[in-house]
Amino acid sequence: MLARTSRRLETTLLLSRQSLPCPARLVPRPYSTPSKPAHSPATATAAQPLPSHDYPPYLPASGPSSSSSSTSNQFLQPFLQRTQSFTILPAPYPRDEHKNDPIFTDTVTQDKLAVMDACLHNLYSVTRAKTLFNRLREEKQNVLSTSVYNRVMSSYLQMAAQEESKRAMWVTEAWEVYRAMVSGSEGVLPDHQTYALALNAWRQFSDITGGPSADYKTILSHITTDSRKISLLDIVAHPCIPTQEDAADITKQLARIALEKQDIDTVNILAKAASIASGEGILKIPEAVTALKRSTDESGKVVSEVPFNIQNLRDHLANVAYARQVLPDDMVARQRHLELSAYDMAAERLKFQHEKMNELGLDNRYQDKVLQEYMYSWHSKLSERLAKEIKIIEQEEANKIFRNSATELTPYLSLVAADRLSMITILEAMRLTGTGGISNGMKTTRAMVTIGKAVENEYKARLCKTHGISLPSVSRPDETVFTEFGYSNLHQRRLAAARQMTVGESWTAPWSQLTRAQVGGVLLECLMEIAEITRSAKDRKTGEVVYDTQPAFYHGYEFVRGNKLGVIKVNTAVSERIAKDSVGGVVHPRLLPMLIPPRPWVGPNDGAYLFSKASLMRFKDSVEQQKYLEAAIRSGNIELVMEGLNILGRTPWKINKQVFDVVIQIWNSGERVGKIPPAQYEEAEPQPPVDDSDLSARAIWQGKHKLWQQNVANNHSDRCSVNYKIEIARVTKRSTSHITSTSVAAPTPSHPISTTWAMTSLRGLLRFASSKPLGERGFRWLKIHLANLYGFDKADFDERVEWVHERIDEIKDSAHNPLDGKRWWMKADDPWQALAVCFELTEALESGDPLNFRSSLPVHQDGTCNGLQHYAAMGGDSQGAAQVNLAPVERPSDVYTFVGKKVEKLIDEDAKNGNVHAIALQGKITRKVVKQTVMTTVYGVTFVGARDQLHKQLSDRGDIPEELCWLSSAYLAKRVLACIGDTFVGAQSIQNWLNLCARLISKSISPERFERRVISATEEMEKKEKARMKKKRKGASAASKSKSRKTAASSSAEDMEGLEEEGGEEVKGKKTFAVPMAKMKKEQMTSVIWTTALGLPIVQPYRKSARKQVMTNLQSVYISDPNVPSEVNTMKQASAFPPNFVHSLDATHMVLTGIECSSRNLTFAAVHDSYWTHACDIDQMSAIIRDTFINLHASDMLKRLQEEFKERYKGYRIPVMHLENQNALNKKLVAAGTRVKMIPELAARYKMLGNLIEVTEDVSEQAKVVEGDLAVLDGVVGVSKSKSSTDLPTAADLAKDILASLKEGEDATTTSASASSTEAAEAPEDKPALKEENFEYLMNKFVDVTELLPPLPEKGSFDVNDIRKSLYFFS
């Protein structure tokens, strides 16, 4: 009775403010003053303070944050509106000239570099490496860098120390490499490591005959006269000088020489080095911090800023490197061991499991073996098998017998020990099981390439640091990184950190995809040979247990989307174990969360893990994107991107132990909760029809049964995936962890821990490592957060808080009895995160002082269909802005419900007209049905994609007959897409503009390649002419002089006639030659590239696939070679550009928000458009989210993009043939407002361009479009003229063929097939002939692509500054 009374009293107190009138929008809301906490336990939690404020629900009332916000905006807005520096590189060469490309390395050269790298490793075959190195110096100097020369020079010196008989030869070779670098004759300049190697070489080998040709004095002269001012401290501190005694002696000798030359500066530097070498003052060096000294006038306005002295930081880092200090932190040592001993630890774990089972006397025949026992038996056999196989391959290659073309495999397979290769193969094969859409298996090609890449990564991780680790002590940057000085300092800090982090690293060459596939093929083949399992079953007749040995992996084929695909299938006994057993032995330790903060990002592959290489930016096989990223980093254009990733990586995490305990119980019980799949799929297997003769019923059953089988396989795959995630949470349960991030701010690498963070079902397992008092506002936001997670997120904030107050009993029951109570939390949209909040809120209420309760639970602020928010802001779309909560509204708008209701109205109208699909769908269009389609429309979902999404949603409902479901989903997709287009007109127009720009750009040819192709064709024709003339002369007869003259004249005439057949003609007295249009099409290598507001260049990688066949013993596989760029895929470039551009805005907004939160000491984490911080800091983060979004779009993103395109693609030419009146592109350009202005005479000649032409008499406009613009090289680029119309096709026929090939892959016009046929029937009879004339005239004309870019869509009236007034923009 007392408990019931207390509960009633608590509820009464909690809901006491409900009688207050509903406040108007943005009007100060009066709340009752909270009373002090009661002393009674029953009422202590009831007397919680309720919000009392006179400011919007997401903004802080006052305090330092408001002033810092204005200061931030003062710098942020000018920074985003600055004139950007673009990273521009020439387009890749086409395939037939790719070997001559100065920037993009071809596969053959990359393989030579990789073999040379492997031969240098552990001095495996330095002689072979020397041969390759000298060959590359002659052929491909552009691929050789200073680090390559240093690696070779170092290896030569090691050989000199090792081989006494050839010491003089190796020293001479090393010194020749040094002289080549110092002289700069090969385009490679020395660095601090080069000089350190030279100094150490003189110290070691100065006394031998034929030793170094330069002494200390010469080397010091090279150093001091180097215009790049390389620091002597960096040189003598380099790890290639092996001992402290060597460094001290070299320092002393250099100081003596400098003193003789009276070079006081050098003497001082060397004296400082000597002091450090003796150990003096190392511990006294202070931590370098960023500081900007501001000068203000009388009004307090900042008039100047002075950057901190970066040299202090440089000296500090150099001192640490020189002293070779390893941070005295056990966590660092553990992280180092974790990364470098990954496979060793996995092997030891399996060995321990095996020995433990033997100690217990368990007979494996009767013991139900666990997954680790399988893996240990395979590991033991595979290690021996690989050792033998490598020896066999080595012998074969010694006899010039190669398994795959002429590729050497021995150097690669010798890089990593056989036992480690065994663990790599087993772990990767187990990890790949169930991936790529293959149930209980994996794609053969993917498995081979992945295993090969894992071997490459293991080799590079062990080679990455050969002289210990050195972590840079770089503090958090100041908030003013958006100023010129602040940005410059950030750049200098990264360079300083990069020098420290990369000191001692050896150069390694990337492997090509072909090499990875070949290495992986050997390892996978050996695994399949030895991996076996023993299965048992009862004999049906005798009842005895029968044992059978079966292969664990076997090769097969599956048809995927009509293509025959080679797959590696896993025995069902193994796959079942992956879903049931602990997978601790399968999880790669190196890919777990880090135990220490990640290394700061300083390069494209330098950052995050201590030794394991991770990519700054995630992209798939795009060498072009890699080159742009490297160039942008060299130019210092993306400092803020790297700093944003560093901020995300610095956030420490812990596992929520309360939630984890419940997850384990649910997992072991095998039931489905949220997105944790059940142990057994719940739905019963569909039964076949009773009447087998009913073909229709049998067809329906077959469809249902196939879908059921697919669902069973998907459930099993999901079960395996969740098993990985739970195991990772178990491993990291007792430690603080850090998750690294990539440039799109997604966790990296692509591994279960990545998806643990991004996967909604298990986000409840994560909490911040730090905690903060809730406070009044944090307590309120924690309640709102629970309502959001439960699904009550379309009410206003006050109603959400009230909703939580009304359910206090259920919340407490969920916390105290999550499985034995009412299980209220399981009904939430996100049950696991809701359970985490129930635990947190209950603890706060029962603490007696909820406002001072220290909470570490992340609270989210999520965007409302974030892509549409960006479109509405770019286009000023008032209607769209209101639907996605950009505009101030009384209650939160729900765009999914809005679209769903519009679709319902259309369906009701169609149902009245008797549409069977509309009748089946009446009353069944919910928010959930249309949500995914609405959400992904902005990211470029097609009709097919929308149909598939809706089919899944309708199938999940279960109330629509399966035979109607597919056709009804197609009908519904049309209605949903139409309603979205009507609602978001501004977004549609922007998408069309982006699409058209991409289509034009991807069809263009760079000016350099255009000129080169013309010159190349001219040279080729001249070569043919000379060859024919030479052949004619040899066949000349020895006739009389008169006859000779006659013959010569006849021959000359024939030569000229033949030359004309090849396309030659006279242009203003100069002979020119035609270039076939087919070759010009090969020059269409231009990708769509743009630059984000933070300076990151984005390259779309969509090109026509260039695959190469690789023969293996398993099967013949086709590997896509990213080093062989093909022509761009115009349609993919166009369709992907709108969603990719919006994604880049998402990422930019998130990074800006992260930097701002860090500057104000807020904990920050994010996944796409979901931003997390402590509950008490939500108000500040909400204000920052709005400020960064407003400042981002205040810079007019579309206009800046248009200006970039005009600069980046200036001079790029597009064939005018693409613009012919009947072409779909012409129609779309005309509809978008593109016009090419011409004077009347010129317009008459180009009348076949239709409405794209605009006639003008204005003399000032005539200069914009002249004949040279539309007919660059008119008469030079074209097709060959035929000698006889009866022998060869006419030029018009050729033109039609060329046009057909150029339009290959183009999308059809917007008209339907019937409409097209009707138009064709009504067309005049002479139209085809007219089109032939058009083609013949246009096929050798080109126009600057920037002249065709359509005008920007008209902007609406919505003002982005109104977002500050919107309560539900992010909520």
Which residues are marked as active site?
862, 931, 1169
CA angle 698, 701, 706 (to 5 degrees): 125
Q: Helix and strand tally (H, E) in the chain? A: 52, 25
CB 416 within 8 A of CB 424: yes
Q: Is 1067 helix (H, G, I), strand (E, B) or coil?
A: strand
CA–CA distances in Å: residue 1050 to residues 456, 1024, 1046, 1058: 66, 19, 6, 12
From CA 776, how far away is CA 1076, in angstroms rounded? 75
From CA 1064, how far away is CA 1021, in angstroms rounded? 9
Q: Which amino acid belongs to residue 672?
A: R
Beta-bridged to residue 1122, according to DSSP, are: none
Task: Say how many C-beta atoms besides its own lie within 10 A of residue 198's C-beta.
Answer: 28
Per residue in 1156-1166, is it b (16+ CB within 10 Å) or e — as a string? bbbbbebbbbb
* CA atoms lying within 13 Å on the CB side of residue 632: 29
**Residue 1120 tokens, joined:** 């896509």
From CA 219, how far away is CA 375, in angstroms rounded? 56
Question: Rounded to the nearest 10 degrees, how much is the dihedral formed by the CA atoms of 389, 391, 393, 399?
Answer: -150
Q: Where are the alpha helices (DSSP H) in 671-774?
A: 695-731, 752-758
From CA 1170, how far away is CA 858, in angstroms rounded? 11
Task: Say how many C-beta atoms besides its own lie within 10 A of residue 303's C-beta.
Answer: 9
CB 58 within 8 A of CB 1179: yes
CA–CA distances in Å: residue 1097 to residues 495, 991, 1144: 20, 20, 10
CB 286 within 8 A of CB 274: no
From CA 120, how far away is CA 151, in angstroms rounded? 8
Long-range contacts of 450-453 (CB under 8 A, 24+ apart): 450/520, 451/424, 451/425, 451/519, 451/520, 451/523, 451/524, 452/511, 452/515, 452/516, 452/517, 452/518, 452/519, 452/520, 452/521, 452/523, 453/511, 453/516, 453/520
Instruction: Please name the residue that has the structure tokens 């080069």.
Output: 194
Query: What is the β-pairing status of strands 737-738 and 1253-1255?
Result: unpaired
Closest CA to 975 of 924, 1039, 1014: 924
Helix (H) or strand (E) holding 781: helix 775-790
Q: What does 582-636 look like in DSSP terms, one character per residue?
A: --TTTS-GGGSPBSSPPBPP-SSS-SBSSSS---SS--SS-HHHHHHHHHHHHTT
**CA-only gyration radius of the chain, Å:** 36
Task: Say how many C-beta atoms besides its own lie within 10 A of residue 453's C-beta.
Answer: 19
From CA 401, how far away is CA 378, in angstroms rounded? 29
Question: Rounded to the nearest 10 degrees, how much is the dihedral formed by the CA atoms of 1100, 1105, 1106, 1107?
Answer: 130
CB 733 within 8 A of CB 655: yes
Determine whether 1084 is exposed, middle or buried from the number of CB atoms within 10 Å of its CB (0-12, 13-18, 19+). Answer: buried
